[in-house]
Structure 1
Amino acid sequence: MAYTATTPAYPRLLTKLDALRATFARAFDALIEARSRRNEIERLQKMSDTQLARLGLTRDGIVQHVFRDHLGL
């Protein structure tokens, strides 16, 4: 007696394509977040020391401030 597969072969391909799509989505999200942080650093660097002081920042602390959620500060 012969058996035939009734499941098409492409579900594995679809699974791989979904994984690839998810990888690209994560990479794109990381790119957007990095650009946003870079823009925030540039914005703060353009401020005067007096303006930074009003925000409770020093020029040396700008990067730490922008990345505080990643640095655990």
Structure 2
Amino acid sequence: MAHISTQPTAGFSILRPLTAIGHGLMAWMERVAVANSRLEEIRHLQSLSDAELAERGIERERIVYHVFADRIGI
């Protein structure tokens, strides 16, 4: 008795490398967008006066730490 399988093999797929490239590109674009938004936040905070920063509870020399606190665990 012969058996015939109609299921595709789990081996090579032309779409797999293209999908990986697409995912990599999207991840890179997301990192760029996040970096740009953080840079804008740093620039905005640096433009504030010391009194305005104090109202927010931020010291001028700690602006970068404040913006990246979630990334560096502070």
TM-score normalized with structure 2 length? 0.83
Map 1:1-73; keep pairs closer than 5 Å.
Answer: 12-73=13-74
Give the residue type in structure 1 aligned to 2:67.
V
- Partners of 1:24 and 1:61 lie apart in 2 by 33
- Partners of 1:67 and 1:40 lie apart in 2 by 10
Q: Which runs of 5+ in 1 are unaligned?
A: 1-5
**RMSD (CA atoms):** 1.3
TM-score normalized with structure 1 length? 0.84
Aligned pair count? Answer: 65
Give the residue type in structure 2 aligned to 1:30.
R
- Partners of 1:68 and 1:30 lie apart in 2 by 16
Give the residue type in structure 2 aligned to 1:56.
G
- Partners of 1:39 and 1:23 lie apart in 2 by 25
Q: Which runs of 5+ in 2 are unaligned?
A: 1-5
SS at structure 1 position matched to 2:48: coil
